[in-house]
DNA sequence: CGGCGGTATATGAAGTCTCATATACTTCCG
DNA sequence: CGGAAGTATATGAGACTTCATATACCGCCG
């Protein structure tokens, strides 16, 4: 049920359409959530059915009529309760990391290559990252920097042959 | 389709039952994936139907007969292809972080309290973290440490009143 | 011998997510 | 006028996830 709550949270600052919400989520990964439009539309409908948001149709300068949602008092209550729930660390769910971890059984040259590929992704993401004007953005930034440093350290260790992989014997 | 591949990856070192796989996943969050038993069982069946794993029933010292799966050559091929796919950063999906981010509109005392709650979770997780014997584990460890430092820095800033929230005017 | 606790497998409902696909309206450009 | 491009909403299949629930087998302890 998180997506609905995240949407309520976004709507609680500004009324918005599904399209707007998707843009806001996609723009700032530091928010901790993103979703497809095809998830967002049904979620907004559920919120509407539940009385947590209200709908106003508006002609838009371009494209079909916008459906602008805004939070109702009931929605604000619901959001407040969700925000007050106890925290928990998320279940790990990262296919790239999973592959990177499995890779450790491979040969060092391949491992370095893939590590560098990953490093590239991190560097791009860091370049794209919004300035640290919120705690969440500062968090994202330092995490990316840390991961970048980690990737470099692991690569260096592999290249130095300090961390010998399965190929060690063959080379010996 | 990630879960199936992750399972193939685990099975490629040792044949195992669904229960074993769940234990391995749950024990090491650095692996980047975890799942419920109720996801794992159907996934193993799909793998079996697809010929990617084979099944051997075995009496177990305790409990009902174990169903031990092992990777077939076809499964090994499939795994190899998956491992070779290009990397991508995962879509953010963290309800706790989302709430933490939304919290930034609240009053500093509340924000500090919730940050500390989060800090506690991180500290526990760090204590529980396995020693850094693999690259993935070292990654997890440094990320937790970084996040811990971030939480402390944000708390300190809030307490020092440097980062004035909406309550600033009332206090002035 | 009867229940408790741990091992192990299983199922169903409801919601969520991904991916593919479709459609409508507008402006701009040729 | 016609097509391309951007805005905006929508739907469906299939897989994935969560949560609740059920059951079976075994050894141990009282």
Over residues B9-37, the pLDDT tens digits come to 999 999 999 999 999 999 899 999 999 99
SS3 B69: strand
Look at residue A153 in the predicted model and tell me its pLDDT: 96
Confidence category of residue B63, pLDDT binned at 50, 70, 90: low
For residue B131, the model assigns a pLDDT of 86
Please tell me whether residue B13 adopts helix, strand or coil conformation: coil
State the pTM of this model.
0.89
Number of neighbouring beta carbons within 10 Å of residue A51: 12
Min Cα–Cα distance to chain A from B170, Å = 21
Say how far A135 CA is from C8 C1', in Å.
45
Task: For residues A24 and A135, give the distance between their C-alpha atoms in angstroms, rounded to a whole number.
Answer: 17
Q: Tell me, what's the pLDDT at B171?
A: 44
Chain B residues closer than 8 Å to A92 by CB = 29-34
Percent of chain A with pLDDT over 90: 70
Tokens of B152: 């402390």
Q: Which nucleotide is nearest to B2 (CA to C1')?
A: D16
Determine the pLDDT at residue B170. Answer: 46
Other C-beta atoms lying within 10 Å of the C-beta of residue A73: 9
25-64 of chain A touching strand D, CB 7 A cut-off = 37-38, 41-42, 60-64
A chain contacts of residue B98, beta-carbon cutoff 8 Å: 2, 5-6, 9, 31-33
The separation, in Å, between residue B137 CA and nucleotide C10 C1' comes to: 33
Min mean pLDDT across A120-129, A154-163, B134-143 is at A154-163
- According to DSSP, residue A105 is labeled G
Please give the pLDDT value at position B49.
Answer: 86
- Percent of chain B's residues with pLDDT above 70: 90
Residue A130 CB partners (closer than 8 Å, separation 6+): A27, A28, A30, A137
Q: What is the DSSP string of A53-84?
A: EEEEEE--SSSSPEEEEEE-HHHHHHHHHHHH
B60 CA – D29 C1', rounded, Å: 22
Question: Do B138 and A150 count as a contact with CB atoms less than 8 A apart?
Answer: yes
DSSP element (H, E) containing A123: helix A108-128
Averaging pLDDT over each range in A137-141, B38-42, B89-93, which range is the top one? A137-141
According to DSSP, residue B165 is labeled -
Segment A121-158, tens digit of pLDDT: 999 999 988 888 999 999 999 999 999 999 999 999 99
Quote the tokens at residue B22. 């769940």
Q: Answer yes or no: is A64 CB < 7 A from strand C.
A: yes
Pairwise pLDDT comparison (B64 vs A101), residue with the higher score = A101
Contact partners, residue A88, CB within 8 Å, separation at least 6? B96, B121
B172 has pLDDT over 60: no
Is B19 within 8 Å of B37 (Cβ atoms)?
yes
Instruction: Tell me which residue in B85, B138, B150 faces A139 most closely, judged by beta carbons.
Output: B150
- Shortest CB distance from A95 goes to which of B90, B118, B142? B90
Q: Which nucleotides of D are covered by protein (CB under 7 A)?
A: 6-13, 15-21, 23-27
List CB contacts (< 8 A) between A89 and chain B: 96, 121-122, 125
- Which residue has the closest alpha carbon to C26 C1'? A62
Q: Alpha helix locations (H) across chain B? A: 2-11, 18-27, 37-49, 73-84, 95-102, 108-128, 135-159, 168-171
**CB of B59 nearer than 7 A to strand D:** yes
Q: Quote the pLDDT of residue A132.
A: 84
The mean of the pLDDT values for chain B is: 88
Contacts of A89 (CB under 8 A, 6+ apart): B96, B121, B122, B125
pLDDT tens string A37-73: 999 999 999 899 889 999 988 776 666 778 999 999 9
Closest CA to A121 of B137, B87, B139, B93: B87
A130, two tokens:
């919004």
Mutate which of B33, B81, B103, B128 to disrupt the A interface (most A C-beta within 10 Å)?
B33
Output the pLDDT for position A15: 93
Is residue B53 within 8 A of residue B75, CB to CB? The reply is: yes
């Amino acid at each position: 049920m998180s997506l609905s709550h995240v949407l309520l949270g976004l709507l609680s600052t500004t009324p918005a359409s599904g399209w707007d919400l998707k843009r806001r989520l996609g723009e700032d990964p530091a928010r901790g959530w993103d979703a497809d439009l095809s998830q967002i539309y049904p979620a907004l409908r559920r919120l509407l059915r539940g009385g947590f948001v209200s709908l106003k149709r508006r002609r838009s300068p371009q494209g079909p009529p916008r459906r602008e949602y805004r939070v109702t008092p009931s929605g604000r209550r619901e959001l407040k309760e969700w925000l007050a729930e106890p925290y928990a660390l998320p279940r790990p769910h990262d296919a790239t990391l999973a592959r990177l971890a499995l890779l450790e059984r491979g040969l060092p040259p391949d491992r370095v290559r893939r590590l560098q590929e990953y490093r590239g992704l991190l560097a791009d993401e860091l370049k794209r990252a919004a300035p640290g004007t919120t705690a969440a953005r500062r968090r994202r930034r330092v995490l990316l920097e840390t991961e970048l440093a980690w990737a470099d350290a692991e690569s260096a260790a592999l290249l130095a042959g300090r961390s010998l992989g399965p190929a060690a014997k063959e080379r010996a």
